[in-house]
Amino acid sequence: MMALSWRKGLKFAAKQSKATRRCFTIVPAALSSEPAEQSYMFRLFIIHARFIRFFGCLFIGNMKKGSLKNARMTWKSPYLIYSIAWLATLTTMEGITIASKATCLSDKSCKFSESIGFIAHVVAAVKWLFNFLCLAFGSRRLLDFLRDAAELEKSTGFVPEKRSICRYNGRAWFKVVLRSAMLATAVSCFSLVFLMHCRMFSGERKHWHPLLKALAVLSSVALLFCESYMYMSLVHFCGVLAQYLRAQVATFEECRRMTKATTLAYVACGLQNRRSARQRLQDKGAQGGHQQRMESFHVTALALVDTWIAVTYTAYSTLGFVDFVLTSSDLASEVRKLKDAVKDAALLEPTNPYSHQVQYLHDIIEPDEMCLTAGGFFRLDRSLLVTMAGSVITFTVILVQTSDDIKHRMRT
């Protein structure tokens, strides 16, 4: 019911924006006078969608580049069998790995690092299984979100930003370095997983060995992608929403130059569109994002163990979580820029009707509402990174101070 109500709210806001454009002859220079024929958000997402569908997680068929006209979500199709086959393959491969590591738990001579390695594999398996099911059962809501975004772009005449390396600032370059490091750690981690699978099957019969080796390759690649697609999808959607907000800032600056009170209704309606889209994105990714945060904090403790898989997986999860939080915080930053611009206009503009409209627009802008949340318990912003860093440091100090006592008890 909540997702349905937000969908209706977004459609209503889009219709209101269409009516605004028909009533006002002034169109901001930052936006095109012709509605977009294709959805920019879907054009960028289609690459991820094809990979997600290949690995059996996306039940949206008939997707064409830049068009959602014939896209349908259905369970009754041969794709369901294909998806179950992928799920069974991944479950079998990871189950064999976890079972082989679980045998040492019953042995009193089992090392502490081996026990932690078992926990790391269990956490990783739970994460990809959770992401798999979350995206599979959320395909219908994802399709609704993409259609609402396409309608929003057409109603506002959104024009995508032109990307250029020359325009990158310090924050943009930091994200490039962060994501490059994340990619390197992910490839390293799952290369080690692949080698472990190959070593595990090296003692099997010769005529089974090529098949098992191929399954090891497929499961490693699939596990890497299943670990990442929820993060990649949410970061992609948040990036496009940030472009929507920057377009609204440019629209308001154009309205200030025109000094027309009625044109501010266009900005207010557009802001409501973005707020509704952000909530739809929150409804879609709350489960996956919340699970990502819990998993990242849990596995961070495993980096203290001298196990390469745990170390690389911890680095990969931590970097992904940091990037996710920074992307969520960028949404609030863009809204804060709009609020600051409105505040300056309220102090400078003398006309009474215009001042009332500006004051109303200033009152309805809430930057903190654009941040993604963990089920409404806390916001994903930069302050959360500081809090988690303090928790990890505290845990590390406690573990270091008690390590000698733990070793003594394990020996006895």
User: For 231-285, how does the pLDDT look when each residue is reduced to its tens digit (9 = 90+)?
Assistant: 888 888 888 888 888 887 777 777 666 555 445 555 555 555 555 555 555 555 5
Nearest CA-CA partner of 135 in 220, 59, 225? 59
pLDDT tens column, 314-326 = 788 788 888 888 8
pLDDT at 201 over 70: no
**Per-residue confidence band for 65, with pLDDT thresholds at 50, 70 and 90:** low
Q: What is d(CA 153, CA 341) in angstroms, rounded to the nearest whole number? A: 23
Ramachandran region, residue 157 (left: φ > 0; alpha: ψ -120 to 50; beta: rest): left
Choice between 17 and 349, residue whose per-residue pLDDT is larger: 349
Write the burial class of residue 397 (CB in 10 Å: 0-12 exposed, 13-18 middle, 19+ buried).
exposed
Confidence tier at 35 by pLDDT (50, 70, 90): very low
pLDDT score recorded for residue 132: 82
Confidence of residue 119 (pLDDT cuts 50, 70, 90): confident
Whether the per-residue pLDDT at 209 is higher than 70: the answer is: no
CB of 275 closer than 8 Å to CB of 335: no
Residue 379 banded pLDDT, cuts 50, 70, 90: confident
The encoded tokens of residue 141 equal: 């809501």
CA distances from 40 to 64, 248, 259 (A): 13, 16, 31
Mean pLDDT score of the chain: 69
The candidate with the shortest Cα–Cα distance to 235, out of 145, 142, 329, 169, is 329
The answer, yes or no, to whether residue 6 has pLDDT greater than 60, is no
**What 8-state DSSP symbol labels residue 61?**
E
pLDDT category of residue 5 using cuts at 50, 70 and 90: very low
Q: Single out the residue of 247, 236, 254, 244 nearest to residue 275, CA to CA.
A: 244
Instruction: Report how far apart the first and last C-alpha atoms of the chain are (Å, whole number).
Output: 58
Widest CA span of the chain, in angstroms?
Answer: 85
Q: What is the pLDDT of residue 313?
A: 76
